[in-house]
A and B are shown apart, each in its own frame.
Chain A
């Protein structure tokens, strides 16, 4: 078996250790004998979504986001759209997550037109929402992470939240939702390495990607003792 990952803008959207997610996906597949390769889809580079099984996009600084929006509109947005609609697995984090939505309105009124691939929008507020947090997906996967965003995201009717908040702010600090999901696309504010510490969620994504390509596949269990202890440490310190 062979899985190809497209890492979008690894050179620009690499804030908060996002590449930890690629490392986790790769390691967890390799240990199960699955071949994995990752292509960096950088600025100015075109790509065909059909060539990939998993798309990943991380978060970045505001300074770099303007440059990036121009580049997205030169064709990458259409490929990302195609990938989403054809049920490819996609994980988008923080800034990358926001960009899948319709727009970002900064708190001083500036409008940034985003991709509009999914039915949600984001509005900025001066106060950032920061901290260790946890949420639960409808499959019952409990995800622990760290959020740090000034944007408040409001979901439309065409999409579901990725999870319900256990502790923390989530999408907007109001409605108890976190992230977005649509087909096999998942967006979350849990920036940085969400997958190494949430192996269940990492395997969930891997399973979906394998299912798309090879039909239902059983994943061999891995030794996740350290991961479990890391999760427990965060839960004990910050969640409950």
Chain B
């Protein structure tokens, strides 16, 4: 009875909000939870639940999994729009159930940050959990990087029946395999993306999580990811079940890799650029297989999926020739990888870096000093550099001290994204905009409105 009531209340509030012309918020879920606290336990009973968590790559991974389910002809729903707190998750389950709480879809994809996961895992029932990686992120909210890891580990323990897909190359993520009762599937990249890739200047996991001795590496992919071995206690990267075995092409808009899926060899085109997205692809291959999707469909999904908004999203600049690209950055590892990606571009372009310091960006902007900008500004094809966002001048100083090579650092003040849009469309060349989370959330609707693109609340 309470399930029914809870669903009813949620739907009613959603209906009212829609009439008022507002998008989905956390409000309907809040009302539903007030009526029945563990309504999620009932709602997740008859649906296959795939949870995606970890520091980087959650949203892109959800997009790939969504494409996989779609191509497999499965019905599914996904908790979108960053509404990934318990209230948002609850509301999305209710909206995909009958009024008595019976699921109307076969699959649910749930994106959770580690804090939401802690809460959600106490109520939900799950079949597959994908843990993308663990990096240092928004420290002022979450404390130490091991806190993030522990939060995920404790949450996974709440869901012992789920199959867990872990990044074998991440010494932090993989360490939980020793403590969780779950069935574990690993994924990873067996080779560096560039020949002789060196250790990063700043690593989020330099010392063994078990015995604190410094790791040796047989190779590095990015950040602390790679072939780690602890010479003291023997903790090391396992041979992953789903592995990228060689990297063919890394292009702006796609990558081609050879991969082994639990022993079977495939050549795969990944429909998005960036070496970090190779990780998202192989992680999703593991998760989709664990969810019962066949290999052929998985490969097809990787070839066809479209990037999530703000993550390597492309708009026409309006001149029929050039593109305005949006790449979200959230932490030093992701930002460094984005800079690495941009250094692989040879065409002329304008770079716009946009820094906010709201809750979801991290209140402390110090992290931009941990971003690896080495040599990017030495490339002559960066024709102009702009900074914007609430903390535009902190970004300006960061670029200045890195050495902008004589270029003037132009500042777009007052979070004026209309002006940013004017600039982005009048360059006569490609534009790469690199915003932090809340900056992206405010800027994207402005860009989408002017240059065409899906509405956010769709």
Q: B-contacting residues of A (Cβ < 8 Å)?
A: 11-12, 14-20, 23-24, 27, 43, 61-64, 66-67, 128, 130-132, 146, 148, 191-193, 196-197, 226-227, 229-230, 232-234, 237
Contacts and interface: CB of A to CB of B under 8 A. Distances in A.
Contacts of A146: 140, 363-366
A131 B363 CA distance: 7
Contacts of A237: 390
Given A27-B401, A230-B396, A61 B370 contact: no
Given A16-B366, A16-B367, A148-B140, A63 B146 contact: yes
Nearest to A70: B212
B366 A191 contact: yes
Contacts of A197: 394, 397
Nearest to B201: A19
A21 B409 CA distance: 21
B17 interface: no
A233 B391 contact: yes
Interface residues of B, number: 35
A226 B202 contact: no
Contacts of B397: 196-197, 226-227, 230
Contacts of B391: 230, 233
Across chains A and B, which 9 residue pairs bring their CB atoms closest together, nearest first? A17-B369, A192-B366, A20-B369, A230-B393, A16-B366, A17-B366, A229-B393, A146-B364, A61-B144
Contact of B369 (A128, A193, A233): A193
Nearest to A145: B366
Interface string B348-378: 0000000000000001111111100000000
A147 to B, nearest CB: 9
B207 A67 contact: yes
Contacts of A226: 393, 396-397, 400, 409
A43 B140 CA distance: 27
Given A24-B401, A192-B369, A11 B206 contact: yes
Given A11-B206, A20-B366, A230-B394, 7 more contacts: A14-B202, A23-B369, A63-B207, A132-B363, A146-B365, A197-B397, A233-B394
A43 B214 CA distance: 10
B139 interface: yes
B145 interface: yes
Contact of A67 (B212, B369, B390, B398): B212
Contact of A196 (B136, B140, B206, B401): B401
The binding surface of chain B is classed by DSSP as: helix
Contacts of B392: 233
A43 B212 CA distance: 12
A222 to B, nearest CB: 11
Nearest to A232: B393
Nearest to A128: B143
Contacts of A27: 401
A148 B207 CA distance: 23
Interface string B319-344: 00000000000000000000000000
B112 to A, nearest CB: 24
Contacts of B370: 14, 16-17, 19
A76 B405 CA distance: 38
B165 to A, nearest CB: 25
A135 B411 CA distance: 27
Contacts of A67: 207, 212
A131 B141 CA distance: 11
Q: Which of A16, A64, A132 is packed against the most chain B CB atoms within 10 Å?
A: A16
Contact of B367 (A17, A23, A24, A63): A17
17 contacts: A17-B369, A23-B401, A61-B144, A63-B207, A67-B207, A130-B363, A146-B365, A148-B140, A191-B366, A192-B364, A192-B366, A196-B398, A226-B393, A226-B397, A226-B409, A232-B393, A237-B390
A165 to B, nearest CB: 18
Contacts of B203: 11
A32 to B, nearest CB: 15
Contacts of B201: 19
Contacts of B214: 43
Contacts of A12: 206-207
Contacts of A233: 391-394
Interface in B138-183: 139-140, 143-146
Contacts of A43: 214
A230 B394 CA distance: 6
Contact of A16 (B139, B212, B394, B411): B139
Contacts of A66: 212
Interface in B183-225: 201-203, 206-207, 212, 214
